[in-house]
Amino acid sequence: MRTSKIIRTTKETDITLSLCLDGTGKSAVNTGCGFLDHMLTLFAKHGRFDLEIACKGDIQVDDHHTVEDIGIALGTAFKEALGEKKGIARYGSCILPMDEALIVSAVDLSGRGYLAYELNIPTQKVGTFDTELVWEFWIAFARNAECTLHLRQPAGSNSHHIIEGAFKSAARSLKEAVAIDTAYADEIPSTKGVL
């Protein structure tokens, strides 16, 4: 089983996170930010990752530090759980409809952190959640997972649907990318011999 446990403590957040890439999609998420809990719960379900997150953050200020630091911790957990990446598919992609929204994601577990982000979220908030934090989460994740991640939105007008579609689509792309191809179980999927 490919697992990782991350403990990240700063003056702004205190995070404990455990991840199993070869899970069933069960989760226990308590970040102090209800909308983020919802997104991470469905991320685990659609990626079939087992995920536990507990965070105490300075949400009396706002959700920024909590969201960014959880992105850092989750990205780090993916990197650690993948180890040297022998046998992984490496690439994954998903076109996901979420009612009127259509989200396209693609990932390369390349060892290089990069985010191409083209989500046009029409409102500044969903409930109390600042929608600009979606970018903050995914850039923190991509940098720390050391993956290339593309998120695009060909259609969509409802902010909740766009964001939820992005989390679901990314989860399914990552599920595909981390999968072990048994025909290549002892190989690193790169001509460089390292990812």
Pairwise CA distance, residues 148 & 130, whole Å: 24
Cα separations (Å) of 189 from 38, 147, 170?
33, 14, 21
List of the chain residues with pLDDT < 70: none
- Orientation angle between helical segments 159-178 and 34-47, nearest 10 degrees: 40
- pLDDT of 186 reads 87
In this structure, what is the dihedral angle of CA atoms 148, 108, 25, 63, given to the nearest 10 degrees?
0
Q: Which residue has the tokens 């992105």?
A: 71
Tokens encoding 8: 């990240």
Tokens encoding 100: 């009127």
Cα separations (Å) of 7 from 1, 159, 175, 192?
20, 31, 23, 32
- pLDDT of 189 reads 85
* Per-residue pLDDT tens digits for 134-182: 999 999 999 999 999 999 999 999 999 999 999 999 999 999 999 999 8
CATH 3.30.230.40 fits 3-184, yes or no: yes
